A = this chain, B = another copy of it.
Amino acid sequence: MSEILPTETQSARDSAFRAIDPSLGEAIEPAFPIADAATVADTCRRADAAFDLFRELDPDARASLLEAIATEIEALGDPLILRAMSESGLPRARLEGERARTTGQLRLFARLLRQGRWAGVTIDSAQPDRVPLPRADLRQRRIALGPVAVFGASNFPLAFSVAGGDTASALAAGCPVVVKGHPAHPGTSALVARAIHAALDAQGLPQGVFALLQGPGTDLGAALAADPHIKAVGFTGSRAGGLALLEIAQHRPEPIPVFAEMSSVNPVLLFPGALAARAAALGAAYVGSLTLGAGQFCTNPGLVLGIDGADLEQFTTAAAEALAGTPSQTMLSGGIHAAYERGVTALSSHDAVEQLAQGVASEGCNRGRAALLRTDAASFLADPVLSHEVFGAASLIVRCRDMAELRMVIERIEGQLTITLQIDDSDLSDAAALMPLLERKAGRILANGWPTGVEVSPAMVHGGPFPATSDSRTTSVGTAAIERFLRPVCYQDLPDALLPKPVKHDNPLALPRLVDGEPG
């Protein structure tokens, strides 16, 4: 795999690391150099040096860069898919879909840039004759925050990694990006980084706009989040990892925002009417969502709430049957597989929990067997451990006595990325009564679907109250993700010669503007 050989030479064995094929438990060549502290500092300095030029590019030029990156990723061809397969254990179809999502996301941000509303241009005209005091000419636009540190996620080696959603939205905003690649897929990361560097070259832009740093430990990420040139962090991963980055970021001499997407069990609420009409079908469909991609999604339905009774029993039986027939799947890494096994064991050995079904066992390394477990609402409420996320295809059905108890469970759970309603017409008044509570708890509310499969579009919200994310006012999927990396600046009575293009009097970039409070 000479095409992913790192350009830097290794000085010693312990300054390099290799990916592990999770399906074999074996190291994959080549070795990748581990970025040391000096490399982090130098990389961030170069990102800062590229910042002023990059942020002031015309929107069309940054859009062209994003499109060029998409094209270069496609040009990597099958070697990218093959390498990602071997590093992640994910199947070809999934990775091809993920590649399409990655390039589609880059092109969506390119369109957004050309539409121009992201710049938030707002103009208050001067009122020299106003009494008692004249009003100055005030012009606001949004500028990029500065270099952004992006932490690649293990579970989306393409769409939430080196050129994923955080990188696309930060570059779109005008922020240089330094990616800390996830150590599970360094070869995939290196290939995509090469595509980005090729696109920068082709567009005549400085290489400092983007960098990939790699390494297996946590020192690298900690140094990156602490670097004074870094002005924001994008992270998708564990709660512990997100909180550690927050602690670093908040206690720097200059604190910076961290956009961490961390932990969610994505409750599914089974309403009585829906259960009465289609309990068995719901049970099967639920297992489909649960076991997709070995359950390794942030939006995996890890918690099901229903009213105890024959219909819930039928749902449960159907789910258990479907799940018992699902083949085990290779998980993303040995570490993730081990954590999954520990989580399932903790649940299944809990006094108040019964294990209903397990997926088919199979030979092979790091194979995750789906797990279906059940408890009752009183037990669930009594032990917070039962509400913690187990990353993988494990899910807990919670039997509630009635709607009042179901509501109590929702009141007590932490913030979520999603909450899903399975409803029929007869459930509408019960569901309507819950809606205000659901809005407080989640970033996205779905009806009669499943939370996995997150659309990349303007209306999407992939976010939610803590601990789903560290900042519920944002999303990490969809075009609104760009807003995380922008801040407003106001120009008061500046001569036109000093105004940046977006707020110049003749509007040379033809950006949409809000003038005196109205679009115009």
Contacts and interface: CB of A to CB of B under 8 A. Distances in A.
Contacts of A449: 136, 492-493
Nearest to A446: B492
A466 interface: yes
Contacts of A138: 455, 457, 459-460
A133 B435 CA distance: 28
Contact of A459 (B52, B140, B255, B479): B140
B500 A459 contact: no
A473 interface: yes
Nearest to A53: B436
Contacts of A435: 498, 500
Contacts of A453: 133
A129 to B, nearest CB: 15
A459 B497 contact: no
B493 A254 contact: no
Given A124-B459, A444-B489, A250 B246 contact: yes
Contacts of A457: 124, 135, 138
A329 to B, nearest CB: 21
Nearest to A437: B52
Contacts of A26: none
Interface residues of A, number: 81
A440 B500 CA distance: 13
Contact of A487 (B123, B136, B421, B473): B473
A432 B497 contact: yes
Chain A contact residues: helix, strand, loop or mixed = mixed
A408 interface: no
B488 A461 contact: yes
B460 A490 contact: yes
A461 B489 contact: yes
A494 interface: yes
Interface in A472-492: 472-475, 479-480, 483-484, 486-492
Interface string A421-442: 1010000100110011001101
A470 interface: yes
Q: Which of A257, A465, A471, A489 has the most chain B CB within a 10 Å cutoff?
A: A489
A111 interface: yes
A512 to B, nearest CB: 8
A253 to B, nearest CB: 9
A145 interface: yes
A157 interface: no
Which of A97, A431, A495 is most buried by chain B, counting CB atoms within 10 A of its CB? Answer: A495
Contact of A488 (B111, B475, B490): B475
A494 B255 contact: no
Given A124-B455, A440-B146, A488 B497 contact: no
11 contacts: A122-B459, A140-B459, A145-B472, A254-B414, A428-B495, A439-B500, A443-B487, A444-B489, A445-B489, A461-B488, A519-B519
